[in-house]
Amino acid sequence: MYGIKQKKEKEMKNQRRIKKKDPEFYRKFLALLIPMIVQNLMNALVSASDALMVGMLDQNSLSAVSLATQISFVLNLFYAAITIGTTVMAAQYWGKKDKVSVEKIMALAFRLALLISAIFFLACFFAPQFLMRIFTGEEELVRLGSRYLKIAGWSYLFSGISQVYLCIMKNTGRTARSTVYGTSATVLNLILNAVFIYGLFGVPKMAVAGAAVATLLARIVEFVLCILENWRTDAVKIRLDFLTSSSEILGKDFACYTTPILANELAWGCGFTMFSVILGHMGSDAVAANSIANITKNILLCVAFGISGGTGILIGNELGSGNTEKAKEYGDRLCHLALATGIISGLILLAVSPVIVRSCTTLSDTAKSYLQSMLLICAYYLTGKTMNATVVGGIFCAGGDTKFGMICDTITMWIIVVPLGALAAFVFHAPVMVVYFLLNLDEMIKLPAVYRHYKKYQWVNNITREDTEQ
């Protein structure tokens, strides 16, 4: 009996050893991860450059652009919901080798993205002052931010299409080309930022408006690249007949999976935006420091979001192919990777925070003191965010389990964190750093519930259908 037990234990150890060396997993995941990290990093650098390049002019310009880009942040929540919902279905249908259904899913996503983009464009063009006053009562910030929004709003008409098409490319084996297109547009944005903000090469100096013009031109170029890609023979095609009439079955499934994701993104994202609203009413120093802290945090989260995006595609492909055990194995492995990444990211932030503070020469002494403390708080935030992004946004969504994230974020943000922050700021008049600490508790609060739900394995589902013609 003892010998049999030893033999079984030895076999299990050998199996685990084989799994650890699984070259297929690393090949598949690295092929997704590296391009996504590059793309996320470039996107973060664009956001950073808008604020930092303008911030070199003066602190008010930095604060105004930071608050104005919160509108883009909210819009990107809608795009995130659409692209995650697209990935939920496209990854599994591509794993099933059903190209036609993927094209139908893309058409559904296009229509929704265009509608939302048009709404945000109209709001930014006709009511920029109203939007800015949501975030601040300082008239100079409202004036500067309105100039930015009125121009940047035009870019939304192009970015919706681009975001959906690039998402489809990532889900259909064209991750590298998707990254090249997105990165090209991003590099162009960075160059044009310098040209239009500072007035290089004989171009008039446009300051805040220059950052918006650069964003618009870059988004147009990205859109054109996507249209050109559509003409390739091996591409998943934009089909006019699918745009005008879609599959009722796929439409219902798309709504079923996307609606909870949208509610989740809005619950979390609008809660996160409320952080800026609360801090925006605590003075320009708090706004400026929070702007730099968010930029730093977003750059370090590029790896986390790369892992999350790659996870959704990788596990979705396996579930769509019917490989449920492999999907579970990959899920466990990716959880460990996310935890390690989050801890390392936090340690890196702690190491570089003094350098970041010293480099912000345009900030007041008060803003610098805020920033130093904010960066320390962000260090623990990174671990929680990396885990939750991978598990909730990647693993759960890959199997169509999209409702848990909605419930979890709604409770965390709107019942716990936002009320606590608002009470601390406006009722008890707590110091800025106490408020900031409370506002950054959300990701750590969620972790126990996320872990328990993961271990139930309710996300292990093949959601594809045999007949999608109706």
Distance CA 309, CA 301 (A): 12
Model pTM score: 0.78
Distance CA 394, CA 403 (A): 13
- Please provide the size of the chain in residues: 470
Checking phi first, is residue 371 left (phi over 0); if not, alpha (psi -120 to 50) or beta?
alpha
The candidate with the shortest Cα–Cα distance to 123, out of 78, 164, 83, is 78
Q: What would the pLDDT profile of 19-32 be if each residue is shown by its tens digit?
A: 555 777 878 788 88
Residues 6+ positions from 356 with CB-CB distance below 8 Å: 292, 296, 371, 375
Sign of the alpha-carbon dihedral angle for 286, 292, 295, 301:
negative
CA Rg value for the chain:
23
What the block records as the tokens of 334 is: 């990716």
Backbone angles phi, psi at 161, to 5 degrees: -65, -45
The candidate with the shortest Cα–Cα distance to 87, out of 32, 6, 15, 16, is 32
Instruction: Measure Cα distances from 294 to 45, 154, 265, 291, 427 in Å.
Output: 12, 25, 18, 5, 25
Q: What string of H, E and C letters represents the secondary structure of 375-399?
A: HHHHHHHHHHHHHHHHHHHHHHHHC
- The per-residue pLDDT for 348 is 94
Q: Kind and range of the H or E element at 323?
A: none
List per-residue pLDDT tens for the chain, 470 residues long. 445 445 444 444 444 444 555 777 878 788 888 888 887 887 777 767 766 777 777 778 888 888 888 888 889 889 988 998 898 899 899 988 898 899 999 999 999 999 999 999 999 999 999 999 988 888 888 999 999 999 999 999 999 999 999 999 988 888 888 889 988 998 899 899 899 988 888 888 888 899 899 999 999 999 999 999 988 877 788 888 888 877 788 989 999 988 998 888 888 888 887 887 898 888 888 888 988 898 888 889 988 988 998 898 899 989 988 888 999 999 999 999 999 999 999 999 999 999 999 988 778 899 999 999 999 999 989 999 999 999 998 999 988 898 999 999 899 999 999 999 999 999 999 999 999 999 999 999 999 999 999 999 999 988 888 766 65
- The per-residue pLDDT for 470 is 58
Distance CA 376, CA 371 (A): 9
Give yes or no for a contact between 237 and 103, defined as CB atoms under 8 angstroms apart: yes
Residue ranges covered by each domain of the chain: 23-456
- The per-residue pLDDT for 10 is 46
Give yes or no for a contact between 438 and 419, defined as CB atoms under 8 angstroms apart: no
Instruction: Measure Cα distances from 220 to 142, 180, 195, 224, 440 in Å.
Output: 27, 15, 17, 6, 35
Q: Kind and range of the H or E element at 242?
A: helix 240-244
**Residues 28-51 as b or e (16 or more Cβ within 10 Å = b):** bbebbbebbbbbbbbbbbbbbbbb
Pinpoint the alpha helices (H) of 56-174.
59-95, 99-126, 128-135, 139-152, 156-171
Q: What would the pLDDT profile of 265-304 be if each residue is shown by its tens digit?
A: 888 888 887 887 898 888 888 888 988 898 888 889 988 9
Distance CA 322, CA 61 (A): 53
- The per-residue pLDDT for 407 is 92
